[in-house]
Amino acid sequence: MAVRSTFPAGLALDAHKQQACGAPIIELSQPPRVTLALDQGSGYDAEPVVTVGDTVAVGTLVARANHLYASALHAPLAGTVVAIGMHEAAVEGGRGVCIVIESDGSGRVDDRVRPVQSAYSLSPEELIQCLRDAGIAGLGGAGFPTATKLVSARAGGTQTLLLNGAECEPWICSDDALMRCAADDVVLGAFLLHRASGAGRCVIAIEDDKPEAIAAVKGAIGRRRADAQRDDDLTLAVVPAMYPQGAERQLITTITGIEIPSGNLPAEAGVICQNVATAAAVARWATLGEPILTRVVTVTGGGVVQPCNVRAPIGTPLSALIAAAGGYRSVPLRLIAGGSMTGRALPSDEVGLTKAMNCVLVATQDDIGSRLGAVESPCIRCGDCSSVCPAGLLPQQLHRAALADAHDALRHLGLRDCIDCGLCDYVCPSQIPLTDRFRDARRRLNAAEATAQKAADARERHELRTRRLQEAATAEQQAFESVRNRARQPGDDSAGGTN
Amino acid sequence: MSSDAIVTAVLVAAALAVTLGVALGWAASRIEPDADSLVERIDALLPQTQCGQCRYPGCRPYAAAIASGAAEIDRCPPGGAATVRALAALLDRSQRPLDPAFGVPKPPQVAWIDEDKCIGCARCLPACPVDAIVGAPRQMHTVITAQCTGCELCLPPCPVDCIELRPVPAVSLRYRQPRAA
């Protein structure tokens, strides 16, 4: 089934994917040490359950999820916990709390990692709990816990489960490689997620510039139908290659025609979106009993010798991944986690791979250089930004409001609906770093709203206290007066009785 | 003819001016300005620390004093220059620096009780303008950090000086994706 894009705009970008996705996925051996960031991409830390000196095996739980938006973390290798503390990490700010594990080379596997006998017979609730325990999180780049999403889907009565294989961002091709090599895993995972979500139908969406992946997934769906004699209502949708086709809301609009209202969750509109790599991770859990210990990551860019896709343990230092890609070709300009549009610059190549990191872009001057060091000119009101914005916003107006820190205007113009795709930036002839400005404005808006909320709370508490004190004072006054009045009445009962 | 027209025009204009002037003067004396809503608007700009550094017992009484003209707009150190600016804009008054007689701005802070030293005297409890201290006589007290405004009013009553003010714990202003589903 081929589908037309229906979200407002977007742009066809140079994909830069061919270099990396031609070769099969390289299986990286276990590194001597891993650095596991407690925040695996969702912005929330897991809570460590090991201490320095503890011995762990492959698959041992090292940090548990104590927040709905955090995901459990397991040791990807057997060895000893040598440090828990601040390290350079692939989180905002470049530093975060990490658990460092040194390998003992034994490769001992934790007892709890064993093939699941009955993944199919589990109830949806049990399945969701298992996925939570296995630390399954969105491998497409958000790192959002899959179980939390499934719970909201069940609560909202979801009709459609969307498996996102669009992978629209330039340079990234880890999902493409995974679908080519492990389409059966993707389809098995899709089936389990479909059961867990309670959705009526399941659609796998792939962009039309990935013919091999489309053929592989089509074959896998066919095999599954033939083998299992099941009608899973699993369909494949081929969507046009158009950035940002793979953004959650945009893909939902393309597939279902529904535009998710501002401020609503997709689940509230009856759709949930999961990445195909997440589905493959679910399948690994179902067949091997393995929590997320590894992921497929694209190592690419002009700065590496042989761009490739690597399956590596979570926490592997990026230097090991780059070595697998033949090492550095030249001194890179930037090391970026993610693609060239929405990626985040990394502090060094010693940070550990995270669940949310689908690509390591070793960018040279030629890859991204045109924008670096560019001098920003004034806005010329060309309107190019508005014509490409896939969220239907007016970046030009937003920019004016952001510079003035006009919070009401920013809210009104939909600052929070910006998906950070970076297209307005990309087309701006004046080289204005619009996305950066919006991100910054959003931070300040959030801070201002938090302060206003705290002031409102303080006002309310102060008013309640003032009222309480007044009431207490009035009551005391009344009590005093009633006693005094009684004392002033000479011939009342008690006084007369004793005399 | 033309001089008549001029006289008529002048008379009409004068009559209009007198009538409207009388009407406006009457309206000004009869219709009270909405004092409450002005107080509310001023109160909304104050930081709600309830610290009393302005020498009024809380932000709202200070707002009422500003509205009635009893106090200047430069008495709020927690609000700092930004609050003075906002008040000046609201009231159409000239900008002025904060009056140092009422204190100097400090970075955001919250009270913290050294629980080892606290003797449970409960004297700080009534001092707190926002009921942000939890405790009872002979029980250890503690501050609800999220509710504390850092007003410092709990410091003087403490007989063992076990309360100190600490910088506000770094609020995470990290950017998050709009809302994941």
* Three-class DSSP labels, B21-64: HHHHHHHHHHCCCCHHHHHHHHHHHCCCCCCCCCCCCCHHHHHH
pTM listed for this prediction:
0.81
pLDDT on residue A491: 57
- The amino acid occupying position A70 is A
Which is nearest to B83 in space by CA: B110, B49, B112?
B49
CATH no. for B107-168: 3.30.70.20
Which residues does A97 contact at the CB level (< 8 Å), separation at least 6?
A37, A38, A39, A45, A84, A85, A86, A87
Q: Measuring CA to CA, which residue among B169, B59, B40 is closest to residue A458?
A: B59
Strands A201-207 and A160-165: parallel
Q: Which of B131, B147, B181 sits opposite A266 (nearest CB)?
A: B181
Q: Closest Cα to residue A182, out of A273, A338, A271, A309? A: A309
- Which of chain B's residues have a Cβ under 8 Å away from the Cβ of A458? 48-50, 130, 147, 149
Looking at this protein, which amino acid is placed at residue A145?
Answer: P
Going by their DSSP bridges, the two strands A201-207 and A234-239 should be labelled as parallel
pLDDT above 90 for B84 = yes
CA A424-A369-A309 angle, to 5 degrees, is: 90
Q: Give residues with Cβ within 8 angstroms of A153, minimum separation 6.
A: A161, A197, A198, A199, A267, A272
What are B's interface residues with A at a Cβ cutoff of 8 A?
43, 47-50, 58-60, 129-132, 146-147, 149, 171, 173-181
Distance separating alpha carbons of residues A424 and A422, to the nearest angstrom: 6
Q: Do B48 and A450 touch (CB under 8 A)?
A: no
Instruction: Break chain B into its structural domains and give their ranges.
Output: 35-102, 107-168
The answer to whether A462 contacts B129, with C-beta atoms less than 8 Å apart, is yes
- C-alpha distance from A325 to closest chain B C-alpha (Å): 30
Residue A433, classified by CB atoms within 10 Å of its CB into exposed (0-12), middle (13-18) or buried (19+), is: middle
CB A47 within 8 A of CB A59: no
Mean pLDDT calculated for residue range B52-64: 93
- CATH of span A18-295: 3.40.50.11540
Q: Cβ-count burial of A105 within 10 angstroms (0-12 exposed, 13-18 middle, 19+ buried)?
A: exposed
Domain B35-102 has CATH 3.40.50.510: no
Q: Which tokens in the block code for residue A193?
A: 């997620």
Residue numbers in A near B43 (CB within 8 A): 459
What is the spatial distance between Cα A391 and Cα B44, in angstroms, rounded to a whole number? 34
Question: What secondary structure letter does DSSP report for A417?
Answer: G
Q: What distance in Å separates the CA atoms of residue A63 and residue A102, rounded to the nearest whole number?
A: 16
Task: State whether residue A486 sits within 8 Å of chain B by CB.
Answer: no
All CATH 1.10.1060 domain ranges in chain A, comma separated:
379-489
- In angstroms, rounded to a whole number, what is the distance separating the alpha carbons of residues A358 and A309? 10
State the DSSP code for B168: P
Mean pLDDT by 10 residues, chain A (499 residues): 70 81 86 93 90 93 92 94 91 87 90 79 89 92 90 86 91 92 92 88 92 93 77 84 90 90 86 94 91 94 92 94 91 88 88 93 82 83 93 94 92 93 91 91 89 92 94 94 85 49
- ipTM score: 0.78
Rounded CA-CA distance A386/A396 in Å is: 7
- The span from the CA of A90 to the CA of A353, in Å, is 8
**Pairwise CB contact (< 8 Å): B132 & A447:** no
Smallest CA-to-CA distance from A163 within A240, A69, A267, A234 is with A234
* Contacts with B153 (C-beta within 8 Å, 6 or more apart), sequence order: B51, B52, B127, B128, B129
Instruction: Give the A window 20-79 contacts with B, CB below 8 Å.
Output: 42-43, 69
**A379-489 sits in which CATH class?**
mainly alpha
- Kindly list the residues from chain B whose CB atom is less than 8 angstroms away from the CB atom of residue A454: 48, 146
Q: Does A441 touch chain B (CB under 8 A)?
A: no
How far from A280 is each of A180, B6, B99, B167, B181, CA to CA, in Å?
12, 93, 65, 46, 20
Beta bridge partners of A243: A11
- Which chain A residue has its CA at the smallest distance from B43's CA? A459
What percentage of chain B carries pLDDT values higher than 70? 91
Residue with tokens 């850092």: B150
**Secondary structure percentages of chain A, helix, strand, coil, to 5:** 40, 20, 40
Q: Give the pLDDT confidence score for residue A195 in this predicted structure.
A: 87
CA distance A363 to A170: 12
Query: B interface mutation test: which of A462, A463, A468 has the most B CBs within 10 A?
Result: A462
Residue A496: the pLDDT is 45
Which residues of chain B have a CB within 8 Å of the CB of A93? 174
- Mean per-residue pLDDT over chain B, rounded: 87
Closest residue in chain B to residue A152, using alpha carbons only: B181
CA distance A369 to A312: 29
User: What is the interface size between A and B, counted as CB pairs within 8 Å?
Assistant: 71
**Cross-chain residue pair B178–A417, CB shorter than 8 Å:** yes
Q: Indicate the SS3 state at residue A29.
A: coil
Q: What does the alpha-carbon distance between residue A281 and residue A279 come to, in Å, rounded to a whole number?
A: 5
Provide the 3-class DSSP secondary structure of residue A242: coil
Cis omega (within 30 of 0) for bond into B159: no
Q: What is the mean pLDDT of residues B68-73?
A: 91
pLDDT of residue A231: 60
List chain A residues with CB under 8 Å of B58. 462, 466
